[in-house]
Structure 1
């Protein structure tokens, strides 16, 4: 398999160098997966615009979706990053594990969101009628549904990029779900 090297600031276009500088200022470093987007002159800016776009889903809801989709796609990179972000958004280790399984029974609204997100990725977008009804019954709106689908697309992009490139994970590794469930 072709080996991918994470690009450095010096090896990317001027436009991407400016994005690296902005990421460094905001995060304190440029995550390897973001740097890998910079192999394209356009992809990093496009992806950052998508990721930072306004959404009717708040930070906790977004992390639920990110964790569910990343687990389904078995993306070690995104699971590691979103485990950190999930904790920053107030989820416990046990809650993060449950979310990764596709449920969030500790919160009825987030549970309906997690279950629908899992259903959508499993069925490649064909919403299960019962999951969709439960989503709306939990107080989510049609706007939330559209934003959920956009967020799933966002996460699939980064999951697939890591799957194709296998660049090093520069976040603490997320626990292996099978090992946690077997314990």
Structure 2
């Protein structure tokens, strides 16, 4: 598969240039995957609106979902980005490996979230009843369930974008998941 070009600021619309400027201020650079969204006049803004929308989930909880989903979807770009973000949210290297594998031995509630996220992704939305019951029995709410599905969808969009475009990874590259007991 050929690699898509990563558009530079001067190659995108005025609207996307403004978003690039905001990303530059917020994160210090424009991640290649975000820049790739700017091939479309509307996709970058729409995606960032979805990704930054209000949710019942905390940032750390969203990272649990992002890591589990990106592993199932085999997206090295998102695994690399969310490994870095996961560390910024307080996860250790070992915890990140567990989350990528779809579980969290270190936290019962996060374990239910990771298992649900992996199950939803593997089963293309048809989560097993036992996994959903486990999630709700771990103290999550139906609101959290709906918000989890939205984050799974959000992350799947980026996973698919990278898997299709193969733009260069501009984060420390996450290594393939070694066998971690589930």
Count residues in correspondence.
181
Residue number in structure 2 paired with 1:175: 175
**Runs of 5+ in structure 1 lacking a partner?**
none
SS state at 2:125 partner: coil
SS state at 2:35 partner: helix
Alignment map for 1:5-44 (pairs within 5 Å): 5-44=5-44
CA distance in 2, matches of 1:168, 1:2: 11
CA distance in 1, matches of 2:46, 2:146: 19
Q: Is the 8 A contact 2:112 2:138 kept in 1?
A: yes
CA distance in 2, matches of 1:122, 1:76: 17
CA distance in 1, matches of 2:101, 2:152: 16
CA distance in 2, matches of 1:162, 1:3: 10
CA distance in 2, matches of 1:72, 1:102: 9
CA distance in 2, matches of 1:132, 1:28: 38
Residue number in structure 1 paired with 2:121: 121
Distance apart, 1:3 and its partner CA: 3.3
Matched, 1:61 2:61: yes
**Runs of 5+ in structure 2 lacking a partner?**
none
Q: Find runs of 4+ consecutive structure 1 residues off by over 3 angstroms.
A: none
Alignment map for 1:105-116 (pairs within 5 Å): 105-116=105-116
Alignment map for 1:30-109 (pairs within 5 Å): 30-109=30-109
Distance apart, 1:38 and its partner CA: 0.1
Residue number in structure 2 paired with 1:142: 142
TM normalised by structure 1 equals 0.96
Matched, 1:158 2:169: no
Give the direction of change, closer, same or farther, for the CA distance of 1:105–1:75 in structure 2 (3 Å limit): same
SS state at 1:18 partner: helix
Post-superposition Cα deviations, 1:20-44, rounded to whole Å, max 9, x if no partner, equal: 0000000000000000000000000
Q: Is the 8 A contact 2:2 2:166 kept in 1?
A: no
Distance apart, 1:2 and its partner CA: 3.9
TM normalised by structure 2 equals 0.97
